[in-house]
A and B are shown apart, each in its own frame.
Chain A
Amino acid sequence: MGLFRRIAALTHRSDLDRNIESELREHMRMLIDAMVAKGMSREEATRYARLRFGNPTVVKERVDAEDTARFLDNMLRDIRYAIRGFVRNPGFAIVAIITLALGIGANTAIFSVVNAVLRHPAGIDHPERVVIENTRYRKLGMDFPGVSVPDYADAASLNKLVEAAAISRNGSFNTQVVGRVEHVNAGQVSSQWFQVFGARPVLGRTFTSGEDEPNSGPVAVLNYSFWQRDFGGSRDVLGRTLLLDQKPYKIIGVMRSDFGWPRGDQVWIPIALAPKEFDLRNRFNEGSKAVLRLRPGVSIAQLNAALDQKSRAEIRREGSQAFGGRAQWSMYGSQLIEFAAGPLRKPLFVLFGVVIFVLLIASANVAGLFLARASSRTREFSIRTALGATAGAIVRQTLTETLLLAGAASIIGIAAGPLFGKLLLWLIPHSLAEGYEVHLDPAVLAFTAAAGLLTALIAGLGPAFRLLHRHNTFRLHEGSRSTTASIEKQRLRSAFVIGEVALAFVLLAGAGLFLASLRQLQRVDPGFNPHGITAATVFYSGPEFLKSQERQATFMGSVLGNLAAQPGVTAVAAIDPLPFDPTQGGSSSFGIVGRPLGPNDPGAHSNIAFATPDYLKVMQIPLLAGRWISPEDRADTEPVVVIDSRLAKRYWPNQSPIGQHLNGNSKKPELIVGVVATIRNSSLENDTSDGFRYYAYSQSTDRGANFLVRTSSDPGTLTQAMQRAISSADGAQTASQIQTLDSLISGSLAGRRLIVDMLTAFASLALILAIVGIYGLISYIGTQRTNEVGIRMALGARRFDVIWLIMTDALTWVGAGIGIGAVLAYVAERLLRQSFADFGPGVASSLIIASLALGLVGVIAALLPAKRASTINPVEALRTE
């Protein structure tokens, strides 16, 4: 037990040292005694002995060095021996490395994405300390990551907990680039914005305190890719001027390429908050986002306790009968990473679970290969044991082999994994993946190393303990030519095959379930017909334009006219917000004239939208009662509003809402003139709509519009025509984005589709690995039973009987695997149903299809080796006995 003794030696090092010391001391004394006996004086003899002996410590060190040398020597010998074995049997090594590389590579790929998205988004220093502030109205069932300016001021005042705080608003500007108007997203941020994220510029500086106050000179920090694209990456950009809506901004810095928050912003400019914005009357006007950096060691719970106190103080100040108290308003913070990952979070967790399954299957497969190899090496190990190899040495040898294979596989995984991770991020729709970058950082390396070690242990320990177990009995005869028995020792191997089949079954059934849920979601009716609609988004540019209802109305009329004149266009309209665009949306409270608020009633609340007369025609939304917004509704006529059936049912359950008045958008009460059918506004998975109030564009001002065109021809061909229609109506305006509604809706299912695609890929991989496992085991057993088969055939068994005899084993394992897999799949389905909408239909069909697939695969994988076993010549088979 050299290994164990050496480990014991390490822990008893001081004991060993003392032993050597006393041994050397005795040796010296004996030498002195002998010299004295020869006639030297004792002093002379002592001096002689010292001289001859040298420094005892050096001797001791040399003894110690022997241990280290021996350890390295053994390790090298094990490695050399393992490699020689692999070279002699390269097929085995290649299959094992490919199998493990698939498992480890898949894990590295998914982990590199998980790391980039959920653990450490690029460009943010200590992301776990960055918090986004949220607002909750418990009574209204609302909870969202937006705040009002007073909310932000409350959070920023907690300077014992908060190191830096910043507020941001989306800004949308037009700029002139080489004579062409281009739309620019500019984040309007307060001065500490970059400190919150710990983001540093590559050029120049970021904002200083005071620069975010009104009347300070306008400055701008450029996003890296914007700098590259519009300024050619020129280093003398500092001090130059950027025109945003004709207003000059001095460029003071360029941000690092890996920082991009808020996402999609090309420029950052100071927010310039006027003092009146901090007025407490702005409390429930959540038009901004706020981010905080916690001081080191401060938890989110601590922050939330303090924010809760602030919230309660505000409700007391307001009086409990005011809006905040009745709506049960409060502020709280949550991890920015969680908010940012958004709809990617759940799919990534599912995929992470899935690849761990794949890794287990790969390890089980390699363990199976090793067991097969160990069986044929029984004789080798018996001889080595007889020659004095200890059990520890044999275990060490086996583990060295699996570690080498897993090491080679890990290197492949590290080389290929992050590439696949990048590919994966690239496959995810841009809206979800933007701002994330896959890197091979130490966390990914550590994870891959751990995965490699785990596979080596799983694949190596089973076989090693088998060998240890057998080690006790001296079995030179086993594995020699005369072998009829011992099918029984394949029990461990068949357990691995059963496990593999069960895991593959779960993946297959899971892929089926997610596919069924995707199909189910795709059949959900959004309440409008998106096919053939293209939308062009315009953010109004210019302070004059934004204020003038007249100019907006003229622009809109002319764009709609231009679009209607395009060939193939059947209907045109404008809407804001655009359904299913994740960057748009709006809601507000409203009052019903003649209906006073009762105590604890927070009042009515709904989504709002601005629309033109042909919106229903373009979207094909049915009108249920009354009329829709008409061209006769003008700025100088009575303001009108159309509500959807959800609002009608909630607030006028037993009467017609038509003829009632609302207080919501304009200064005068708005007349309800019609009721339309409700639509899904952002997701097919969940119905997130609070009901809609539609106002007439012609009776309001807005910040922008989405122009919708329904065509009979291919909607993709319209992009240029739409851009032209907009710029010819007003040269200062431009479309920031042109997309089809179909692509927006399918984009909302991107997370689910990602799971389906990846799960299908991984389930196929698992199926292939299962085939290899079953095939390998049946072939091995086929050769093991050659003698038995020979006897049976000599006694008159037919070929079919022999095939059946061997197939029964395979079918038993596959059956057992499917049974265990079905139970696991059922449990997984129950768990996943909690977190995924429309999950669950098709359980029976998924389970049946997975069973059939695995059953078929099992039969095919087993049939070939079984047939081979049945073709042996009984005479030859028995002659080898």
Chain B
Amino acid sequence: MAKNDLQGALDLLILKTLSQLGSMHGYGIVAHIGAVSDELLNVEEGSLYPALHRMEQSGWIRSEWAVTEASRKARYYSLTVAGKKQLADREKSWQQVVKGVQAILRFA
């Protein structure tokens, strides 16, 4: 069942970010999404961590503790095979949502 809804957007953003960055910690993910979207998209920590936990439990991402460039300890997340497949699915269904919403908006 494809998640053909807007709530799936956060999952999609996280999965896409991880596929672009390879491996990243929570702060890095928020920062990346903020920077790339010109601060249009602001991911809240209160939503980010539950989402990360859920995706890890679902086997889409895995995590490990590592040391950052600033020599802090942080938990780094990366995609699994199932996560990559999930990302492809989500991207496709997102395109359809966008197409659908635009069609509605253009209807005169």
Q: For the complex, what is the distance from the CA of A59 to the CA of B49, rounded to whole Å?
A: 7
Nearest 4 CB-CB pairings of A with B: A30-B27, A66-B54, A62-B50, A63-B53
B22 on the A face (CB < 8 A): no
B99 on the A face (CB < 8 A): no
Map CB proximity to A onto B20-51 as digits: 1 under 8 Å, 0 otherwise: 00000111000100000000000011110110
B102 on the A face (CB < 8 A): no
Q: For the complex, what is the distance from the CA of A27 to the CA of B70, rounded to whole Å?
A: 13
With A23-B26, A388-B82: A29-B49 Cβ-Cβ less than 8 Å: no
Q: Which residues of A contact B72 (CB under 8 A)?
A: 26, 29-30
Max count, chain A CB within 10 A of own CB: residue among B27, B70, B75 = B27
With A22-B73, A31-B27, A65-B50: A6-B45 Cβ-Cβ less than 8 Å: no
A2 on the B face (CB < 8 A): yes
Q: How far is the CB of A220 from chain B (nearest CB, A)?
A: 72
Q: How far is the CB of B54 from chain A (nearest CB, A)?
A: 4
Q: For the complex, what is the distance from the CA of A29 to the CA of B72, rounded to whole Å?
A: 9
B57 on the A face (CB < 8 A): yes
A296 on the B face (CB < 8 A): no
B8 on the A face (CB < 8 A): no
Q: Which residues of B contact A63 (CB under 8 A)?
A: 49-50, 53
**CB interface residues, B 45-75, toward A, < 8 Å:** 45-47, 49-50, 53-54, 57-59, 68, 70, 72-75
Q: How far is the CB of B52 from chain A (nearest CB, A)?
A: 8
Q: How far is the CB of B53 from chain A (nearest CB, A)?
A: 5
Contact A33 B70 (CB under 8 A): yes
Q: How far is the CB of B26 from chain A (nearest CB, A)?
A: 5
A sample of 27 cross-chain residue pairs with beta-carbon separation below 8 angstroms, ordered by A number, consists of A2-B57, A5-B57, A6-B57, A19-B75, A20-B49, A23-B26, A23-B74, A23-B75, A24-B45, A26-B74, A27-B25, A27-B26, A27-B27, A27-B74, A29-B72, A30-B25, A30-B74, A31-B27, A52-B44, A53-B46, A54-B46, A62-B47, A62-B49, A66-B57, A67-B53, A70-B58, A388-B59
Q: Which residues of B contact A23 (CB under 8 A)?
A: 26, 49, 74-75
Interface size on B, residues (CB 8 A): 22
Given contacts A59-B45, A62-B46, A66-B57, 16 further A-B contacts (CB under 8 A): A2-B57, A6-B57, A19-B75, A23-B74, A24-B49, A26-B72, A26-B75, A31-B27, A53-B45, A54-B46, A59-B46, A59-B49, A62-B50, A63-B50, A63-B53, A70-B58
Q: Which residue of A lies closest to B55 (CB)?
A: A66
Q: By DSSP majority rule, is chain B's interface helix, strand, loop, or mixed? A: helix
Q: For the complex, what is the distance from the CA of A34 to the CA of B31, rounded to whole Å?
A: 10
Map CB proximity to A onto B70-108 as digits: 1 under 8 Å, 0 otherwise: 101111000000100000000000000000000000000
Residues of chain A touching chain B, judged by Cβ–Cβ distance below 8 Å, are 2, 5-6, 19-20, 22-24, 26-27, 29-31, 33-34, 52-54, 58-59, 62-63, 65-67, 69-70, 388
Q: Which residues of B contact A30 (CB under 8 A)?
A: 25, 27, 68, 70, 72, 74
Q: Which residues of B contact A33 (CB under 8 A)?
A: 70
Q: For the complex, what is the distance from the CA of A30 to the CA of B28, rounded to whole Å?
A: 9
Q: Which residues of A contact B47 (CB under 8 A)?
A: 62
Q: For the complex, what is the distance from the CA of A5 to the CA of B45, rounded to whole Å?
A: 25
Q: Which residues of A contact B50 (CB under 8 A)?
A: 59, 62-63, 65-66
Q: For the complex, what is the distance from the CA of A316 to the CA of B15, rounded to whole Å?
A: 94
Q: Which residue of B lies closest to A59 (CB)?
A: B46
From B27, B49, B57, B70, give the contact of A67 (CB < 8 A): B57
Q: For the complex, what is the distance from the CA of A27 to the CA of B25, rounded to whole Å?
A: 8
Q: Which residue of B lies closest to A53 (CB)?
A: B45
Contact B59 A52 (CB under 8 A): no
With A26-B74, A66-B54: A2-B59 Cβ-Cβ less than 8 Å: yes
With A23-B26, A27-B26: A58-B57 Cβ-Cβ less than 8 Å: no
Q: Which residue of A lies closest to B51 (CB)?
A: A66
Q: For the complex, what is the distance from the CA of A668 to the CA of B50, rounded to whole Å?
A: 102
Q: Which residues of A contact B54 (CB under 8 A)?
A: 66, 69-70
Q: Which residues of A contact B57 (CB under 8 A)?
A: 2, 5-6, 66-67, 70
Q: For the complex, what is the distance from the CA of A24 to the CA of B73, rounded to whole Å?
A: 11
Q: For the complex, what is the distance from the CA of A485 to the CA of B91, rounded to whole Å?
A: 44
Q: Which residue of A lies closest to B31 (CB)?
A: A34
From A5, A52, A66, give the contact of B53 (CB < 8 A): A66
Q: How far is the CB of A549 from chain B (nearest CB, A)?
A: 94
Q: Which residues of A contact B58 (CB under 8 A)?
A: 2, 70
Q: Which residue of A lies closest to B74 (CB)?
A: A26
